Amino acid sequence: MVKKVLPLIGIGTKNVTKGYVMKKMLVVSTVSLLFAAAAFCQPPKAPPPEHAGPPLPRHAVTNRAFTGISSLAVAPNGRLWVTWYAGHTPGEDRNNYVVLATSGDGGATWKELLTVDPDGGGQRRTFDPEVWIAPDGRLRWIWSDRTMPHSGVSSDAIWMIVLDDPASESTAWHPPVYVTQGVMMCKPIVLSSGEWALPVCTWYSENSSKMVVSSDNGKTWSVRGGANMPREDRCFDEHMFVERKDGSIWCLSRAKSGIREAVSTDRGATWSPLEPSPIQHPSARFFITRLLSGNLLLVKHGPIERKTGRSHLMAFVSKDDGRRWEGGLMLDERNGVSYPDGQQAADGTIYITYDFDRIGKRHILFSTFREEDVLAGKPISGAVRLRQIVSEGPGGVKRSEAAK
């Protein structure tokens, strides 16, 4: 199906057939950027993905040996959007592609609308997707594209598709556009200045927990700064930003040891060292966001003061910008639950997605609850729904066969 194409972030595009071919790439840069930051925003080493559109037969749910790493967004009318990545082989490998699904009935039924597959069975993979409703009301679907040459040297590039009307299943959508280098695992935020800030990481590098900022509503992006992870604790940053009420920006970043944190008082240009956080956690993604009440929500594994494995997914609330945490609503206590992400809807309902048993059950799930449930540590609002299925993907190639 040919989709309507509108001007998008200053990059020329041309609608040619079912797919889209980019006419040219605009190098995102500003005069004020340092050389290192400018180099970070160079064009990608690979062209746009081979397939961006409705799922192909090879993307069938019954042909999935791997399913995981989800993200969720809620449109103003309550329509739900969830993205994750999958593959017909049982692992995070060159066969991965990203999926975008939607539900117009509160999550009772789901339809997979789009997939992005860079080159089928080639040496590229798409992974670590995120969905976000931006202040302009449009949905940003963001993912990373990794080239995995035989030399073992990989390169990561962040791409984006914009959907004009997330309230509708039949929304027009735009061709993929390149944003910057790196990986973005977690939700963007909007600063009090009106700027949009992406938590982009460049794994195992200096100042890897980066803030990539747009001052023109997503038309252009530039690296503002980054918090530095100590070399001995580096892994997959998967960091998140919170702008505190005093105007400082708090960065929480995944480390080998769990979570480290840093603070910026100049809107992300410079950062304090990433120090161990009092929030105890395994080396895995967590989720933090500002609620409509002004309080903070944190979804993590286990109690605040105790490190667990990837089990006991729980929600907590802070009324003092993260200094103390209250409540503790258990969302899923099973081993193998991980990677929470979500959003609070306009009616106060909180939606959290996560995955379970990526190569076994292969479940993408979501839960709903309200702030009062979290503070009480038990369901009291009538809005609590746990372990709701978005997708389960039996099929694909068995691990023993994939190794041949």
What is the pLDDT, as a whole number, of residue 207?
Answer: 97
Residues 80 and 388: their CA atoms lie apart, in Å, by 13
Confidence of residue 42 (pLDDT cuts 50, 70, 90): low
Q: How buried is residue 387: exposed, middle or buried, by Cβ count under 10 Å (0-12/13-18/19+)?
A: middle
Confidence of residue 151 (pLDDT cuts 50, 70, 90): very low
Please list, in sequence order, all residues whose beta carbon lies within 8 angstroms of the beta carbon of residue 195, skipping any fewer than 6 positions away: 213, 214, 215, 267
Mean pLDDT of all residues in 200-208: 95
Count of CB atoms situated within 10 Å of the CB of 36: 11
**pTM passes above 0.75:** yes
Model pLDDT for residues 374-401, shown as the tens digit of each residue: 999 999 999 999 999 999 988 777 654 5
Residues 234 and 173: their CA atoms lie apart, in Å, by 37
The CA-based angle 254-259-263, given to 5 degrees, is: 95
Model pLDDT for residues 280-289, shown as the tens digit of each residue: 999 999 999 9
Q: What is the mean pLDDT of the chain?
A: 88
What is the pLDDT, as a whole number, of residue 155?
Answer: 82
What's phi and psi for 162, nearest 5 deg?
A: -105, 130
Q: Which of 29-43, 127-141, 208-222, 384-398 has the lowest mean pLDDT?
A: 29-43
What is the pLDDT, as a whole number, of residue 149?
Answer: 64
Q: Which of 34-38, 56-60, 124-128 has the lowest mean pLDDT?
A: 34-38
Confidence of residue 83 (pLDDT cuts 50, 70, 90): very high
What is the pLDDT, as a whole number, of residue 92?
Answer: 94
Stretch (H or E) spanning 371: helix 371-376
Model pLDDT for residues 221-255, shown as the tens digit of each residue: 999 999 999 999 999 999 999 999 999 999 999 99
What is the pLDDT, as a whole number, of residue 22?
Answer: 31
What is the pLDDT, as a whole number, of residue 153?
Answer: 52
What is the pLDDT, as a whole number, of residue 403?
Answer: 43
Model pLDDT for residues 84-127, shown as the tens digit of each residue: 999 999 999 999 999 999 999 999 999 999 999 999 989 999 99
Please list, in sequence order, all residues whose beta carbon lies within 8 angstroms of the beta carbon of residue 256, skipping any fewer than 6 positions away: 232, 233, 234, 235, 283
Residues 173 and 163: their CA atoms lie apart, in Å, by 4
What is the pLDDT, as a whole number, of residue 394?
Answer: 81
Q: Which of 2-6, 72-76, 255-259, 300-304 has the lowest mean pLDDT?
A: 2-6
What is the pLDDT, as a whole number, of residue 154?
Answer: 57
What is the pLDDT, as a whole number, of residue 398?
Answer: 65
Tokens of 340: 């929470």
What is the pLDDT, as a whole number, of residue 244?
Answer: 98
Residues 14 and 174: their CA atoms lie apart, in Å, by 10
What is the pLDDT, as a whole number, of residue 148?
Answer: 74
Confidence of residue 46 (pLDDT cuts 50, 70, 90): confident
What is the pLDDT, as a whole number, of residue 150?
Answer: 53
Confidence of residue 136 (pLDDT cuts 50, 70, 90): very high
Stretch (H or E) spanning 402: helix 399-402
